[in-house]
């Protein structure tokens, strides 16, 4: 309808459709605290035919703008632990560079042969990594939400308990810090930096901001309330996605026109998501994410199978 040319990628796409995708990305980002790349990267490839290295490289730029908007939305409700987020950024700086380096290795690998079909290594490996991570996260969130719903039916005032949080908070490696906003009296700084490293690696490798790993870590491993985990994840993702954008831009994987089109919609979507999430309980949010993650994983795998000629 209104086509726009993407100068770095060298293709023309429908600008209205990109903005509509951006709205969805923004909503998912603020609603789940996962950056939105979990939607934008596979959908850019599936709907618009954007190669995965460009989808992964451009997505952090979109996530940067989206998470800034989403963080401001959560900030109003005091759902952001700035101290926790700042410490995680230390590890994210290293993790992002490691993740983007893996993407470069896959780009240089060129095409590979799978089931007698030639396919770009980056367009085969990255979707499968996406699918595995999404499926694992979806199953984890679903099983936990079902358990939690049963607990609440038996006792509506039953507190949420993360089984591993006591063990992880008890790590002995000094120095130790306190995180009052998250309800953590004492935890090793290295534990927080390590989680940031994992977030940064996923952000650089998959262009998803890393929140898809960080949110379950904050909820299930640290025992942080869901709404605080989401707000803090968005805050940390601002920096992880910003660093990832610069790293991918240096490597020629970022198309600024594509990013701007998505940002137009995602900024609006993020405010809607931040508003809606205030109306729901944490267990409802986690269960909704479970279905979203598994649905996207199924679509990603189906696209790969179609490329390989199975359908």
State pLDDT tens for residues 270-291.
778 777 767 766 677 778 878 8
| The predicted structure's pLDDT at residue 36 | 67
The whole-number pLDDT of residue 245 equals: 84
Question: CB neighbours (10 Å) of residue 198?
Answer: 17
Split at pLDDT 50, 70, 90, the class of 162 is low
Asked whether the predicted pLDDT for residue 163 surpasses 70, the reply is no
Q: With cut-offs at 50, 70 and 90, classify the pLDDT of residue 123.
A: confident
Q: What is the 8-class DSSP label of residue 280? A: S
First to last CA, the chain: 29
* Residue pointed to by tokens 């290594």: 121
The answer, yes or no, to whether residue 184 has pLDDT greater than 80, is yes
| Residue 250 confidence class, pLDDT cut points 50, 70, 90 | confident
Question: Using 50, 70 and 90 to split pLDDT, how confident is the model at 100?
Answer: confident
Residues 234, 226: Cα–Cα separation, whole Å: 12
Quick check: helix, strand or coil at residue 181? helix
Mean pLDDT, all residues of the chain: 81
The H or E element that residue 61 is part of is helix 52-75
Segment (H or E) for 120: strand 117-120
Looking at 6-15, 122-131, 148-157, which range is the least confident one?
148-157
Question: Which strand (E) or helix (H) includes residue 146?
Answer: helix 121-154
In the chain, % of residues over pLDDT 90 = 1
Question: Residue 169 sits in which domain range?
Answer: 3-307
* Bridge partners (DSSP) listed for residue 111: 120
Question: What percent of the chain has a predicted confidence (pLDDT) above 70?
Answer: 90
Judged by phi (left if over 0) then psi (alpha if -120 to 50, else beta), residue 243 lies in alpha
DSSP-derived secondary structure letter, 78:
T
> Does the pLDDT at position 1 exceed 70?
no
207 or 177: which leads in pLDDT: 177
pLDDT band at 210 (very low <50, low <70, confident <90, very high): low
User: Which pLDDT value is given to residue 34?
Assistant: 63
Enter the tokens of residue 249: 């831009």
For 219, the enclosing helix (H) or strand (E) is none
Find where tokens 């949110």 sit. 215
* Chain centroid, CA 238 distance in Å: 11
CA distances to 9, 102, 121 from 111, in Å: 18, 16, 5
Counting every residue written for the chain, the total comes to 311
pLDDT in tens, 32-61: 666 567 778 788 888 888 888 888 888 888
Q: What's the half-sphere exposure (Cβ side, CA atoms, 13 Å) at 18?
A: 27
The predicted structure's pLDDT at residue 62: 80
Count of the separate structural domains present in the chain: 1
- Beta carbons of 230 and 79 less than 8 angstroms apart: yes
pLDDT at position 195 is: 87
- 242: pLDDT confidence band, cut at 50, 70 and 90? confident
* Residue-level pLDDT at 211: 67
Query: What is the C-alpha to C-alpha distance for residues 204 and 200, in angstroms, rounded to an integer?
Result: 6
| Model confidence at 71: pLDDT above 80 | no
123-129: list long-range contacts, CB under 8 Å, 24+ apart: 123/45, 123/51, 123/52, 123/307, 124/304, 126/52, 126/56, 126/205, 126/206, 127/42, 127/45, 127/52, 127/300, 127/301, 127/303, 127/304, 128/301, 128/304, 129/205, 129/206
């Amino acid at each position: 309808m209104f086509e726009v040319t993407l100068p770095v990628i060298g293709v023309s796409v429908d600008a209205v459709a990109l903005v509509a995708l951006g709205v969805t990305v923004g909503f998912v980002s603020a609603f789940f605290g996962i950056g939105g790349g979990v939607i934008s990267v596979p959908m850019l490839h599936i709907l618009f035919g954007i190669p995965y290295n460009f989808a992964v490289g451009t997505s952090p730029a979109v996530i940067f703008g989206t998470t800034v908007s989403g963080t401001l939305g959560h900030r109003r409700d005091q759902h952001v632990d700035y101290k926790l987020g700042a410490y995680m950024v230390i590890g994210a700086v290293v993790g992002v560079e490691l993740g983007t380096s893996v993407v470069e290795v896959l780009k240089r690998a060129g095409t590979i042969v799978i089931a007698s079909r030639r396919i770009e290594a980056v367009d085969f490996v990255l979707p499968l990594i996406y699918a595995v991570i999404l499926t694992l996260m979806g199953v984890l969130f679903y099983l936990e939400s079902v358990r939690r719903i049963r607990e609440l039916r038996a006792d509506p005032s039953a507190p949420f308990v993360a089984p591993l949080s006591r063990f992880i908070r008890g790590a002995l490696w000094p120095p130790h810090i306190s995180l009052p906003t998250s309800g953590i009296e004492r935890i090793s700084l290295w534990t927080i930096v390590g989680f940031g490293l994992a977030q940064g690696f996923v952000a650089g490798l998959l262009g998803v901001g890393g929140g898809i790993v960080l949110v379950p870590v904050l909820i299930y491993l640290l025992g942080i309330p869901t709404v605080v985990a989401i707000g803090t994840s968005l805050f940390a993702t601002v920096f992880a996605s910003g660093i990832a954008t610069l790293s991918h831009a240096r490597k020629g994987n970022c198309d600024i026109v594509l990013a701007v089109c998505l940002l137009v919609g995602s900024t609006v979507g993020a405010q809607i998501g931040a508003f809606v999430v205030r109306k729901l309980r944490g267990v409802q949010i986690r269960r909704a994410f479970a279905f979203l993650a598994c649905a996207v994983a199924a679509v990603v795998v189906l696209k790969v199978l179609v490329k390989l000629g199975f359908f």
